[in-house]
Amino acid sequence: MALRRVRLELARNAEFPEGSSARGYEFVAPLTADGHLDLEDWKRLRDSCTVHRFWASEDDEYGQLVHHGGERWAFRYESMAADDDEEAIFRFDHHGFVAGEYVSITEHDGVQRTFRVVSVSPAAAMAESAGS
């Protein structure tokens, strides 16, 4: 199973009627052929399952995609000390990560925001192009 890099950008909302490409996430995870998270491969590759949160006018954050059993997935950042500070992801394992789909994330401030999947690509190809 190849790791995939998924880019999420803030979807349209009252504050950003056009959405925002300057606010979102890029995360790396193993996906099935139809774009769903693969839990068994995540267990084997968890150290490679990273997240990068970018938010205009705020410092970028880096961390891990974590799983707490059942349907409980979250982003945990290097700066976080407690599990209750994680960003919970609503029904993350039910989503097909393909361009144009939407996912909701409860962020640090406790607000649940919707993000649009804008790209899914091989993680290795992204790492190679970022290094060149």
In this prediction, residue 128 carries a pLDDT of: 39
DSSP three-state, residue 4: strand
46: DSSP letter: G
Domain ranges of the chain: 3-131
Closest by CA position to 117, among listed 92, 87, 80? 92
> Are residues 103 and 120 in contact, defined by beta-carbon separation less than 8 angstroms?
no
- Percent of the chain past pLDDT 90, that is, above it, reads 59
pLDDT tens track for 47-77: 999 999 999 989 999 999 999 887 888 899 8
pLDDT tens track for 20-54: 999 999 999 999 988 999 999 999 999 999 999 99
The number of beta carbons lying within 10 Å of the beta carbon of residue 122 is: 12
